[in-house]
Structure formats: C-alpha cells, structure tokens
Amino acid sequence: MSARLLAGAATRIAPTFDQHLALYGPLETHDDLIGAVEQAGLRGRGGGAFPTAAKLRAVAEAGGRPVVVANAVEGEPASGKDHALLRVAPHLVLDGAVLASRALGARDAVVAITDRTGRERATIEAAIAQRKRRDGRVRLRTAAVPNRFVAGEETALVRALAGRDAKPSLKPPYPFERGVDGAPTLVSNAETLAHVALIARFGAEWFRGVGAPDSPGTALITLGGAVAQPGVHEIELGSPLDRALDQAGGVTGRTQAILVGGYFGRWVTPADASKLRLTPDVLGAGAIVVLPAEVCAVAECARVLAYLADESAGQCGPCVHGLRAIADTVSAPGKSNRRPRLEQLAALVAGRGACRHPDGAAVFLRSALDVFADEFAQHAKRRQCSRRDVRVLPLPTRRR
C-alpha cells in the first residue's frame, strides 16, 4: 500500500506550502465536498468514528456563520499520530480545514493543539504564514489548550477555545448546533480533515480504492511497546491487526496481549491478532500497544486506571468516585482479585457522566478483567509480583 497522509514523510518534515502543492497537486474548492465525503464513507479519526459527512451536514443545516476547529489536541498519551501529521503534512490538515470552511460558509478555522513540545505552535503558525492570502476568505489560526486527557473532547475543546476550563459540558447542545461563540461548530480530528483534503483532490472512488468496503481508506496508528519499529504508521482500514504489526517489523519477544484503541480500548490476545480487523470503531484514535510477556499486566492496568481517575474533569459524582474506587481496588495489595466488585463498579460508572470518560475506563477495565483474568486472580495472592515492573504503557510522568 502506498502511503497517502505520510507520502511526504520519507523525504522531509515540515514541507513548505509550495512543496506540499508539488506533492499533492493544487487545492481547488470542491463543488460538493459533503457529497464526496459521504460517498467516500469517511469516518472520524479522533476516536468517535462518527460519519464525517453527517457531521458536516449537521453544521451546514444549523445555519448562522459556522466555525471550523481542527482537533489536534491528542490528549491520549499513547497516541502520537496527530502530532506526527502536523510535522509531516501540516498543509494537508490546513487544506482540509479550509475546504470544510468553504463548504460550510465558515470564515474562521482554528487548529487546536496542546503544544507538548513547545515548538509545535510555532511550526503550525509558520505553515499558516506560508499560505498567506491563498486561502481566500478563510482565516486560519492556532489555539493551545492544556495537555489533559479530556481536553480533546469536543465540548471541552469548545470551552477551552472560549478561554474557560477545558472541561466537558452536557450534550445536547452539541457543538454542531452551538459551539465556539455560540456558533455552529465543526470539531473534526486533524487526521480526518487531512483525508477530506485528499478526497477533495482525488475523489471518493480513489479514497475507497484501498481498505475494505465497510471500512474504506487508510488510517494512522501509533504503535508502541514490544514492536520492532514503534511509532506512527499508515495502514489500510479493515486489515487484520497482525498485518499492521508486521508492517512495523513485527513484535519483539513473546507477546502477552495487545491493547487496541488506547486507554478506552480493548486488550487482544496474540491468538486473536489475525482475526481482529482494524475498523474505525475498533481503532478509536489508533493507539496500539504490544505488552510483552515479562511485564505485569495488572500493574500496567493499575497505572492506566489511576491515570484515568486523575484525569476525570471532576464534575460528575459517578466518574469522580467510581474511577477512584476502580483504581484503588486494582492497585491495592490483595484486592485485584475482586472481580465481582470491579465488574459492579464498571457497570455503575458507564453512561452516568456528562462525557464518555467513565465509559471508556469501564471498557478498558472490563477487557482487562477478561483477558487477564488469571493474572488479576494470581496477583492478589502474591505480595510481590514476579514479573518485572517495566513501564510499557506510556503515561505522562509529571505529578500534579
């Protein structure tokens, strides 16, 4: 499969606007962008896998003067694809934001980032400056939001852009009806907009030329853990997990399990790796981590669950209390075998917050209880875990 989003990656990073146009061709306004995106079957790449055309239509039909937000916040620590995309092909993301703006009648397009490295905002501002007045009436700008897990949730992002705290609000209203400055707002993942930019140039048929009929196109994944070539890769959607791992040089050593979909995702056994098809709803934001055999799965899951509890926005009782109870139960010596209690907690938190943070944690927990059932049972009996405590699942190291 030839790379699409990462086509320029081999030769350079941070291409200029002219280098970008030389690689991908000119940027022309599409006369039915939403129709083309609908035919292409593009689904969001930020984790929700929502049909992009449906979102575009909802904003278009809401009336008023819409705003476009390219969401490159990427709060998930195990995911680096949006940051990589903004380094390797920033103009694809900007093209997509401009094209969506033209299709929706928006004048303002914001690229939202967290500025993890401190240089990112400057890099994107430089890319925007290179485009000068070639985007017509659409004004591009950047905005930096705090690097928190929930900051990329669409309502949290809308609030952060209004200068308030990056915490989710209750839906409805959805951003497509009332978002930035009360205007109908398209909040779209950066990678999704990059695909829009390619669909506008090459068409829906071209887009569907790779991938599967039920999952057309390509997607970026972030591969971590025990693989030969960790990092961001571009894969064909619908392909099995083991093929994606082979694309990264294969796994190194013996694999215990593979996390697919980041910290709201599910664990997969090595035996199931050839059977699991990587479709948008399975991938989430595309973070995949291979857990080697010698690492303690319970300790790794405990670290993630403690992180998810810490990253609660703190607004909803069931999330605040429930995720803390889950984290404490899994971490406490001798308690990790309390599967009925953990299952009960998972059921208590799901669907009872303003956003999907507790639901995601519940999915991760349930999957861990299933795949690592023996480990959870055994771990509680031992005072010391016999496996090495190497930290494989990436988490921020700072303490608050």
Partner 1 sequence: MKILRVDPIACDGRGLCAELMPERIALDEWGFPIVDSTPLSSSLERHAARAVAACPMLALRLESLDSIGGRTTARVRRR
Please confirm whether the linkage preceding 172 is cis (ω < 30° from 0). Answer: yes
Which ranges of 153-292 would DSSP assign to H, the alpha helix? 154-161, 190-202, 204-207, 241-247, 280-283
**Residue 130 interacting with partner 1 (CB under 8 A):** no
Token reading at 43 = 């689904």
**Residue 352 interacting with partner 1 (CB under 8 A):** yes
**Residue 348 interacting with partner 1 (CB under 8 A):** yes
CA dihedral 26, 27, 33, 36 (to 10 degrees): 30
**Residue 360 interacting with partner 1 (CB under 8 A):** no
CB of 75 to partner 1, least distance (A): 19
Q: Which of 91, 148 has the CB closer to partner 1?
A: 148
CB of 317 to partner 1, least distance (A): 4
CB-based burial, 160-187: b 16+ in 10 Å, e otherwise: bbeeeebbbbeeeebbbbbbbeebbbbb
Q: Which of 128, 305 has the CB closer to partner 1?
A: 305
Q: Order of strands, edge to edge, in the sheet holding 255-260?
A: 231-236, 218-225, 287-292, 255-260, 266-268
Pick the stretch among 44-52, 106-114, 165-173, 180-188 that binds partner 1 (CB under 8 A): 165-173
Q: Which of 265, 353 has the CB closer to partner 1?
A: 353
The candidate with the shortest Cα–Cα distance to 110, out of 100, 119, 118, is: 100
CB-based burial, 193-207: b 16+ in 10 Å, e otherwise: bbbbbbbbbbebeeb
Q: Which of 260, 354 has the CB closer to partner 1?
A: 354
∠ CA 60-63-69, rounded to 5°: 55
CA 153, CA 187: separation in Å to the nearest integer? Answer: 9
300-329 residues in contact with partner 1 (CB under 8 A) are: 315-319, 321-322
**Residue 217 interacting with partner 1 (CB under 8 A):** no
Burial of 21 (0-12, 13-18, 19+ CB in 10 A): middle
Strand partners, 251: 227
The site that binds partner 1 (CB under 8 A) totals a number of residues, namely: 14
Site string for partner 1, 168-207 (x = CB under 8 A): -xx-x-----------------------------------
238-297 residues in contact with partner 1 (CB under 8 A) are: none
Pick the stretch among 26-34, 142-150, 288-296, 350-358 that binds partner 1 (CB under 8 A): 350-358
CA 268, CA 72: separation in Å to the nearest integer? Answer: 27
CB of 313 to partner 1, least distance (A): 9
Pick the stretch among 3-11, 63-71, 166-174, 182-190 that binds partner 1 (CB under 8 A): 166-174
Q: Which of 240, 318 has the CB closer to partner 1?
A: 318
Helix (H, G, I), strand (E, B) or coil at 263: helix
CB of 321 to partner 1, least distance (A): 4
**Residue 335 interacting with partner 1 (CB under 8 A):** no
CB of 315 to partner 1, least distance (A): 5
Q: Which of 116, 324 has the CB closer to partner 1?
A: 324
Site residues, partner 1 (CB under 8 A): 169-170, 172, 315-319, 321-322, 348, 352-354
